[in-house]
Structure 1
């Protein structure tokens, strides 16, 4: 390089050019030649490395090498050799311009930091994408940890670049940064809170990617699709996206439906409001009529036999139904609900099944159905629950019962 540089310079002098002008033209031509060589070498090495990685990825079973290519790791690595060549020959090109040489070398050193950060970022993104393909890690907040490493790397890189440009040793520069640490903490407050929250969320297994959560404070009701340092993204069921600060998952209360999705059933908990004036004792004729309902035929026969035996042995005066033991239409209806649920194909028989009477209200007597559907998918769950209540509402008149309903305009129309 020295011989070429001197020879071209001497040639310019021989043409009668001024020495200073010859130095500028010499430096410009040599720099242009170096740039062309660097771009050619970069292009060739990039092709070679990319081809090598592509062939390697076709021969291996793991998809890690495929992800390396997707995240441009080979392309970023290919820039290293041309950079080394540039760093080696720049001093020879600008030997006649020492001040400019120092500035160019500092610029190259800063570029070296940026190149290292590119390589580190592409490697971390590859690692992130690979870890997300592992079944036991795909629901963990991998993005948060990668972002923390990248923030640390960029911070060190920026400080190193400033130290190079100012000529201050890196250790001295970092020591001096302690004076403005309070400002740094203030600037990165949300990042620090997000990082701490991400760790606590992961350790306590509070939220995973794919969980259905309900967070009323932020209007979120849907599936978690991303967890990173800055936000937790929730795709609501109307396909809108809600963002939640990670630390809100720790400081505020929210509902995670994962327990339901991992259980054997989804809870059905809804009440029918029964008009109180329809509740009555059943006469023998009423019982005989209800025996036609096959689900409770056996129950009524055994129950009525027990009641008759008790009333006879105690010489109960049955001229008044209130005396002795009796069946009520509401009680028989509760038994019918229990039998119906136990015979319903979509109800999980291994979990709680109950029809219970709650405290009377001004709207009537709440008769609550408490059971679990075997199918936990939302659309199917709603269909199953609607099917159950469709049937029960239609069955009420057979027991002499009515649903409470506020009067409408048609209620006051004269017939």
Structure 2
């Protein structure tokens, strides 16, 4: 095809009286400079003429992809092909008698074309990635992983073609040798292959998306996913540090994805208050009269008495649990359509745990912490009103405040031990 075009160009030039096949060195240099000038002139027309108009139209268009194409200079990089094509057509005509030099320049121009095509392809892929981000497609698909994979494939193809051009061999010759080096290729591109396969699995199973909050203690990751690439997942932790997790690790190892919590609109409170067991007791009529002054307690007392088995009494901790149940059910920031528990856990050496297991109706971290703190501030303030006390380990000041036993107390203890 190129030979036919060259013949046509030579024929047209000969008709107008221009012999583009010089026989002396001065004429050869002159025509070479002329060819370079023609190539540069065509590049200027395309680059600063035609592309200026195209870029202006793209910027003014309502489509969001237009400005992205201009930003990544896709057409500008593609325009570098124009002078290479012009030189590739004209220079062999000028150097028709200089076969070695013509072949060398022809190979250099072929490399120029390959490099220009690779750069323009990279720019187009980067622009496609940005367009996918604008349209929020990257949240559902690992677009960047595919972009990086296509870049790798384009580079490998370009590299093989470039080597074949320099060696003056068919690309098939070099491709046939890849079978021998398959083991080396798998070793070099192990992470890339694993990452690509993992990216497909992550996307197909919707395991992670950009913006998800994940927790992976093995890699010290606890934050929001900022980027899913071909080999790594970039996580911005809550302390503003960045952790890069191998993509295949998210498939092989376990991790926590908090996306479902965020989408459900409810964030869990799961915290216990340790009650000093020595303060738990049955309540009498005087205690009932005192507790009845607390909001919600009269109705709780009535309900508890109706469901009270024979020969048993009410305890202050039971009334306290009933109070917490009613208080949280009337709390405006607690979701009533999700799991709701106020329960006693197994006693521990540190006291009796009363656990609150409810969901806040806002998943924002600061709001959630504020609601949780307000609830437990109220609980700690109400505990003494029920005759209860929170278990607390003795502090140094408590130990220092202990008074030594008197002689009478020591004698009494000794008599009890002897008895």
Distance (Å, rounded) in 2 between the aligned partners of 1:115 and 1:302: 83
How far has the Cα of 1:65 moved from its partner?
Answer: 1.9
Deviation at 1:408, TM superposition (A): 0.8
Q: Distance in 2 between matches of 1:27 and 1:125?
A: 42
Matched, 1:409 2:396: yes
Cα gap change, 1:288 to 1:305, in 2 (>3 Å): farther
**Aligned twin of 2:405:** none
Deviation at 1:237, TM superposition (A): 0.6
Task: After TM superposition, list the pairs within 5 Å mapping 1:258-297 onto structure 2.
Answer: 258-297=259-298
Residue 197 of structure 2 is matched in structure 1 by 196
Q: State the superposition RMSD in angstroms.
A: 2.0
Stretch of structure 1 that moved more, 80-89 or 25-34: 25-34
- The aligned counterpart of 1:31 is 32
How far residue 244 of structure 1 moved from its aligned partner, in angstroms, is 0.6
| Deviation of the 1:137 alpha carbon | 4.1
**2:164 aligned with 1:163:** yes
Aligned to 1:111: 112
After superposing the two structures, state which structure 1 stretch, 197-206 or 290-299, moved more.
290-299
1:43, distance to aligned residue in structure 2 (A): 2.3
Deviates more, 1:80-89 or 1:203-212: 80-89
Between the aligned partners of 1:212 and 1:264, the Cα distance in structure 2 is 14
**How many residues are treated as equivalent by the alignment?**
388
Runs of 5+ consecutive residues of structure 2 not aligned to the other structure: 1-12, 403-419
Contact 2:300/2:323, CA 8 A, preserved across alignment: no
- Once the two structures are TM-superposed, the CA of residue 304 in structure 1 deviates from its matched residue by 3.9
TM-aligned CA deviation for residue 74 of structure 1: 1.5
Deviations 1:151-209 (A, max 9, x none): 11111110011111111112222112222122112111111111111111111111100
| Worse overlay, 170-179 or 104-113 | 170-179
Structure 1 unaligned regions, length at least 5:
11-21, 312-323
Q: Does 1:242 align with 2:229?
A: no
Q: CA deviation at 1:78?
A: 1.9
Q: Distance in 2 between matches of 1:5 and 1:187?
A: 54
**Do 1:49 and 1:78's aligned partners in 2 also have CA atoms closer than 8 Å?**
no
Alignment partner of 1:361 is 2:348 = yes
| Alpha-carbon distance in structure 1 between the residues aligned to 2:91 and 2:163 | 21
User: What is the deviation of 1:239?
Assistant: 0.7
CA distance in 1, matches of 2:264, 2:303: 36
CA distance in 2, matches of 1:143, 1:171: 30
User: Relative to 1, partners in 2 of residues 1:136 and 1:165: Cα closer, same or farther, differing over 3 Å?
Assistant: closer
Where does 1:4-403 land on structure 2 (aligned, <5 Å)? 23=25, 25-58=26-59, 60-304=61-305, 324-403=311-390
User: Secondary structure at the residue paired with 2:243?
Assistant: strand
User: How far 1:125 moved relative to its partner?
Assistant: 1.7
- Bigger Cα displacement from structure 2, 101-110 vs 346-355: 346-355
